[in-house]
Every structure is written in structure tokens, then in C-alpha cells.
């Protein structure tokens, strides 16, 4: 008992191992033994915090029978509770009118209990804990020299000796930190996160709207592009602009993760319900699944409207290249999801993680090779081109969708010149064409029209893209995804997981 701020809640937090700051000395024993790692999960403790998963529902009544079976209290299932608190309160232990309590204080120098006064308020007043009350009596010293203190110490020694003589449990799992196995933790937490998403339709609607809206808008903006010089540039920038979906995907994930993390760190980690590894893996897996579904929407609404599938008709590989393109699009969504988890894992707030993400995003867009190729970059910055995930995403997109197809020029894209007298355009430019490539509109004419490119591979080479690197780039994106997941676990462990410290004993 005590006034507000006296430390009642802190004492309970310490006893229940819910305090992570400050210095605490001494030992806390249960049955005469120091608490093991399983203590927190075996302890029921309702904190003064209104932190709950907002999508949770009240369990169905039949689940009560499951709990009764787990606790093996079937024979007491129909017992009448009677008066709540009967046998649990302390009125039986302090005597009639609290005479045991009052006798202790008056015997040690406190004034008598006034008539018709509250013993609890009297206790707080005499020890100086009531508002405005003071005392000159050193109650801690008096307690240590009292016979009651000696009785308590004898009882503690008796409990300690009885605990040492007791036989230890043979089942070592009783003392493990978590009741469930790692796989069971991951399964149950993943199931709960899936359930939370399903019960949060606005999160799902926003993902679907982003996937459908952005991809369809970009696809229709570059609708049915042809393989002219301008058409290929439009297709390339259709790919480049599609990457603008990346920051929106990341920003959708981080607030949801932060809300889950707040609940876990406030309630479920202190009670040892499950490990932080299960928390991290469950959130990563659920986002990967949802983003996999979104990649299907984006593929249909972006790949076909632009007309990228037409380039595969020339090599009779529409199905294989279409599936390959989907794999590259899917791994892009996997990268976005794992990148979001990496950014938010160790940072307290989503807005702070978003600021760091924007800085990296600018770097990735700038050095991906579209705005400026590697030959145009200063020597120091060439490493950014090589370690940039967007470099390999764009190469895989462009190489798979545009490679191995013919290219032609519009009338305003031809270079015009006149062949010398007595020579056709083909005869005059044959040596040049064999070295520089390209083609003539009419090799037998004398008024020549030259197109600098005849194949899309030539255009791709001008932007440092190769059709043959598509599977290499796919493998690199797997490496980036695995790196993101590893760093997400590392950042969370470094910034958020309490580290074991050697306890001080008094």
C-alpha cells in the first residue's frame, strides 16, 4: 500500500521481471531457489497498460473447455466461486480492527490509532508516506531489530533448506525459457499475424489499390509501345518509372511492423510468450506472402498494356519469357518487402525509418544506370552502380522484356544522305554497315535513309544491359533479399533485444 508514486507498480514490475532500466540489487527466490528462465512465462501478470492487438476478439466459449483441460481442473469446473476475494484478503492476518498492525507501530513509538479511523491511512501516516505526513522514526532500522524480522528470516531459511532437499524435476523442458518449440512459436505467431491482416481490410485495400492503380496507370501511360527508337525509350522509362512503386510498398509495411513490435515488446516479450526470432520471422513471412499476391496484379496490369510481351513473339518464347518476367517482378516485390523490414527493425518510429529509406532511395535511383550510365559516373561513384539493387532489377526487366527482337526507325528517325553517282546506298555504305551495324531503308536507292539500330540488343547495349544476364541478375536479387533479412534480424538484436547483464548481489 502507498500513495501514488510510492513504487507499488515498480515493485510488482521488479518481482515479475518486467523492468528493463535501472539497477536492482539482491536476490528474488521462488521456493527457495533463484528464478530460472521459465519464471516469466509461468507468471500471470496484468500490467497497468492498455496495449492490446486491436484486431483480437473474445474467444469462443468452447475454448474455455480447452483451457480447463490444459490446467487439469475438470473436477473443479462446476465449483461455485462464492464471494470473490474470500480467503485472499489480509483482514484475517492483521486481527480485529487491525490490532496486530497497530500493536506493531505503537510498540515501536507511533501514536495510538484514533477512534473510528482507517487502519490503512493510519499506517501511511505514521511511516510518513501519506500526503503531508512526516516521521522521525527510522522504521527500516526498527524492522531489522524486531522479533517479526527474525521470524521472517527463520521462515526464509526454512524454505531454502526445504527447497535444497527437494528432488529436482526430471523434465528439463519445464525450465526452458519458452514453453513452445521454435517451430511452434513461428507457426502460431505467423497464424496470428495473418489473422490480423485479414481483420484489417484497410491494409489489404491499400495494398491492392497501390498494386492495381500504379501499375495500370504506368501501363496505360506507355500503352502498346513499338520498337522504334522513341518506342524503346518509352518502354525503358516505363520500367524505370515502375520502380517508383518501391517507396510506397516500403511505407505501407513499416507502420504495421512498428505497431506489432510495440505490443510484442510491451506485453509478449516480458511474459516470454514467444521469442523475438519468431516475431521477426512471422512478420517477414506474412509480408512476403501478401507482396507475392500483389506482384501478380502488377504483372497483369503493367507487362501486357505496355506491350512488352510482343518482343517475345519474334523468338517464339512468349510463355517462357513471360514467366521469366514474372519471376523478376516477383523478386522485386520480395526485395521491397525485406528492405522495409530491414529499415524498420532497429529504428523506433516509422517516420525516422522513412527518412533513412528516402536517402537510400535517391542513391538507388541516381546510380542505377538509366539517368547516367557507368561510363558517365565519376570514378569514385562507380561502386554505387555495382552494389545498387536497382541496377540488376532494371537490367533484368529490360533484358528479359526487350531482348532479341528487331528494331526499326520512324520516318523522322532516319539519318539521310546521298550516295555518290553510279553507286547505290547499299554499295556505298556496305563497309560502314558491317562495322557500325544498323540498316538501310532501301539498299538499292540513291537517296539513302539509314537507321542506326536494327536489333533491340543494340539498344540494350547502349544502356549497359544484356539479355544474357537475366538469370545472373535474378540470383543477385536473391542475395539482396537474404542480406535484407539477415540485417533485419541483426538490427533488431542490436537495437531492441535486452542484453543479459551480470546481476549484482547485495
Q: Which of 74-78, 153-157, 397-401 has the lowest mean pLDDT?
A: 74-78
pLDDT over 80 at 178, yes or no: yes
pLDDT of residue 117: 81
In a domain, 503, yes or no: no
Please, which residues have CB within 8 angstroms of residue 133's CB and are 6 or more apart in sequence?
A: 124, 125, 126
C-alpha 227/C-alpha 220 separation (Å) is 17
Per-residue confidence band for 411, with pLDDT thresholds at 50, 70 and 90: confident
The pLDDT mean for the chain works out to 86
Per-residue confidence band for 60, with pLDDT thresholds at 50, 70 and 90: low
pLDDT of residue 503: 45
Same domain (yes/no): 105, 224 = no
Tell me the percentage of the chain whose pLDDT exceeds 70. Answer: 89
In a domain, 28, yes or no: no
Same domain (yes/no): 331, 424 = no
pLDDT over 90 at 504, yes or no: no
Between 312 and 3, the more confident residue is 312
pLDDT of residue 124: 85
Helix axes 201-221, 245-263, angle to 10 degrees: 170
- Among the listed residues 35, 43, 33, 32, the one whose alpha carbon sits nearest the alpha carbon of residue 24: 35
Which H, E and C letters describe 202-219, residue by residue? HHHHHHHHHHHHHHHHHH
Same domain (yes/no): 213, 326 = yes
Q: Which of 1-5, 368-372, 422-426, 441-445 has the lowest mean pLDDT?
A: 1-5
Report yes or no: 460 and 311 within 8 Å, Cβ to Cβ.
no
Between 48 and 38, the more confident residue is 38
Between 202 and 166, the more confident residue is 202
C-alpha 376/C-alpha 354 separation (Å) is 30
Q: Which of 166, 195, 227 is the last residue of a domain?
A: 166
Q: What is the DSSP string of 27-76?
A: --EETTEE--TTHHHH-----S-----TT--PPPTHHHHHHHHHHT-GGG
Tell me the percentage of the chain whose pLDDT exceeds 90. Answer: 50
Q: What cell does 325 get? A: 518476367
C-alpha 260/C-alpha 494 separation (Å) is 18
Q: Measured between alpha carbons, how far is residue 481 from residues 109, 336, 347, 478 in Å?
A: 72, 9, 19, 5
C-alpha 352/C-alpha 360 separation (Å) is 13
Same domain (yes/no): 417, 402 = no
Same domain (yes/no): 439, 399 = no
Between 11 and 91, the more confident residue is 11
| Local structure of residue 379 (DSSP, 8 states) | G
Strands 447-451 and 439-440: antiparallel
In a domain, 134, yes or no: yes
Alpha carbon 374 to its chain centroid, in Å, reads 34
Same domain (yes/no): 234, 124 = no
pLDDT over 80 at 80, yes or no: no
Same domain (yes/no): 147, 263 = no
Which H, E and C letters describe 313-362, residue by residue? HHHCCHHHHHHHHHHHHHHHHHHHHHHHHHHHHCCCCHHHHHHHHHHHHH
For cell 557500325, the residue is 436
Could you tell me the sign of the dihedral formed by the alpha carbons of 329, 335, 337, 343, in that order?
Answer: negative
Count CB atoms within 10 A of the CB of residue 492: 20
Q: What cell does 484 get? A: 535484407
- Among the listed residues 246, 460, 258, 451, the one whose alpha carbon sits nearest the alpha carbon of residue 357: 246
Residue 442's domain comprises 411-452
Between 380 and 86, the more confident residue is 380
Q: Which of 166, 200, 228 is the last residue of a domain?
A: 166
What average pLDDT does the segment 465-494 reach?
96
What average pLDDT does the segment 166-180 reach?
70
pLDDT over 80 at 132, yes or no: no
Q: What cell does 93 get? A: 492476518
Q: How far apart are the first and last CA of the chain?
A: 25
C-alpha 157/C-alpha 165 separation (Å) is 12
Between 181 and 68, the more confident residue is 181
Between 14 and 351, the more confident residue is 351
pLDDT of residue 179: 84
What average pLDDT does the segment 69-80 reach?
71
pLDDT of residue 443: 92
In a domain, 11, yes or no: no
437: left (phi over 0), alpha (psi -120 to 50) or beta: left
Q: How does pLDDT run across 431-470, given as a tens digit for each residue?
A: 999 888 888 999 999 999 999 888 899 889 988 999 999 9
Same domain (yes/no): 118, 242 = no
Number of domains within the chain = 3
In a domain, 31, yes or no: no
Same domain (yes/no): 266, 221 = yes
In a domain, 130, yes or no: yes
Helix axes 182-198, 201-221, angle to 10 degrees: 70
pLDDT of residue 169: 59
Per-residue confidence band for 66, with pLDDT thresholds at 50, 70 and 90: confident
Same domain (yes/no): 147, 235 = no
The CB-based long-range contact list for 129-137 (8 Å cut-off, 24+ gap) reads 129/2, 129/3, 129/6, 130/3, 131/3, 137/108, 137/109, 137/110
pLDDT of residue 165: 63
Q: What cell does 405 get? A: 527482337
Between 340 and 370, the more confident residue is 340
Same domain (yes/no): 392, 319 = yes
Alpha carbon 386 to its chain centroid, in Å, reads 27
What average pLDDT does the segment 82-103 reach?
61
In a domain, 175, yes or no: no
What average pLDDT does the segment 470-486 reach?
97
pLDDT over 60 at 82, yes or no: no
For cell 535484407, the residue is 484
Same domain (yes/no): 241, 157 = no
Amino acid at each position: 500500500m502507498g500513495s501514488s508514486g510510492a513504487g507499488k507498480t515498480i515493485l510488482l514490475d521488479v518481482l515479475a521481471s518486467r523492468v528493463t532500466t535501472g539497477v536492482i540489487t539482491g536476490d528474488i527466490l521462488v521456493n527457495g531457489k533463484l528464478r530460472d528462465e521459465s519464471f516469466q512465462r509461468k507468471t500471470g501478470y496484468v500490467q497497468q497498460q492498455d496495449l492490446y492487438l486491436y484486431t483480437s476478439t473474445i474467444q469462443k466459449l468452447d475454448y474455455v473447455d480447452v483451457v480447463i483441460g490444459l490446467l487439469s481442473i475438470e473436477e473443479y469446473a462446476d465449483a461455485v466461486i462464492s464471494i470473490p476475494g474470500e480467503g485472499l484478503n489480509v483482514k484475517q492476518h492483521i486481527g480485529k480492527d487491525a490490532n496486530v498492525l497497530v500493536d506493531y507501530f505503537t510498540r515501536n513509538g507511533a501514536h495510538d490509532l484514533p477512534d473510528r479511523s482507517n487502519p490503512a491511512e493510519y499506517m501511511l501516516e505514521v511511516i510518513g508516506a501519506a500526503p503531508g505526513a512526516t516521521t522521525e522514526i527510522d522504521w527500516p532500522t526498527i524492522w531489522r531489530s524486531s522479533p517479526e524480522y527474525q521470524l521472517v528470516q527463520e521462515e526464509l531459511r526454512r524454505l531454502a533448506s526445504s527447497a535444497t532437499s527437494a528432488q529436482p524435476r526430471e523434465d528439463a523442458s519445464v525450465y526452458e525459457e519458452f514453453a513452445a518449440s521454435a517451430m511452434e512459436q513461428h507457426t502460431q505467431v505467423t497464424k496470428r499475424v495473418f489473422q490480423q491482416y485479414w481483420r484489417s481490410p484497410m491494409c489489404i485495400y491499400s495494398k491492392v489499390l497501390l498494386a492495381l492503380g500504379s501499375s495500370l496507370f504506368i501501363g496505360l501511360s506507355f500503352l502498346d509501345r513499338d520498337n522504334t527508337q522513341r518506342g524503346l525509350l518509352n518502354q525503358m522509362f516505363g520500367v524505370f518509372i515502375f520502380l517508383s512503386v518501391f517507396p510506397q510498398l516500403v511505407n505501407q509495411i513499416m507502420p504495421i511492423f512498428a505497431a506489432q513490435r510495440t505490443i510484442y515488446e510491451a506485453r509478449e516479450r516480458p511474459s516470454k510468450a514467444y521469442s523475438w526470432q519468431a516475431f521477426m520471422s512471422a512478420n517477414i513471412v506474412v509480408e512476403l506472402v501478401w507482396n507475392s499476391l500483389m506482384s501478380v496484379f502488377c504483372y497483369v496490369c503493367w507487362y501486357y498494356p505496355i506491350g512488352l510481351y510482343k518482343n517475345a513473339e519474334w523468338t517464339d518464347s512468349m510463355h517462357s519469357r513471360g514467366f521469366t518476367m514474372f519471376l523478376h517482378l516477383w523478386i522485386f516485390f520480395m526485395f521491397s518487402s525485406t528492405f522495409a523490414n530491414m529499415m524498420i527493425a532497429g529504428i523506433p518510429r516509422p517516420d525516422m525509418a522513412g527518412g533513412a529509406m528516402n536517402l537510400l532511395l535517391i542513391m538507388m535511383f541516381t546510380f542505377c544506370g538509366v539517368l547516367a550510365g557507368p561510363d558517365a559516373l565519376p570514378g569514385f561513384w562507380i561502386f554505387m552502380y555495382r552494389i545498387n539493387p536497382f541496377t540488376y532489377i532494371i537490367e533484368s526487366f529490360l533484358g528479359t522484356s526487350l531482348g532479341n527482337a528487331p528494331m526499326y526507325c520512324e520516318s523522322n528517325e532516319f539519318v539521310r544522305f546521298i550516295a555518290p553517282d553510279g553507286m547505290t546506298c547499299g554499295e556505298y555504305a556496305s563497309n560502314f554497315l558491317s562495322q557500325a551495324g544498323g540498316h538501310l531503308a532501301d539498299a538499292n536507292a540513291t537517296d539513302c535513309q539509314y537507321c542506326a539500330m536494327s536489333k533491340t540488343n543494340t539498344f540494350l547495349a547502349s544502356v549497359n544491359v544484356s539479355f544474357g544476364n537475366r538469370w545472373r541478375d535474378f540470383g543477385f536479387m536473391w542475395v539482396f533479399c537474404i542480406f535484407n533479412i539477415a540485417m533485419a534480424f541483426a538490427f533488431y538484436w542490436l537495437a531492441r533485444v535486452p542484453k543479459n547483464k551480470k546481476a549484482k548481489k547485495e
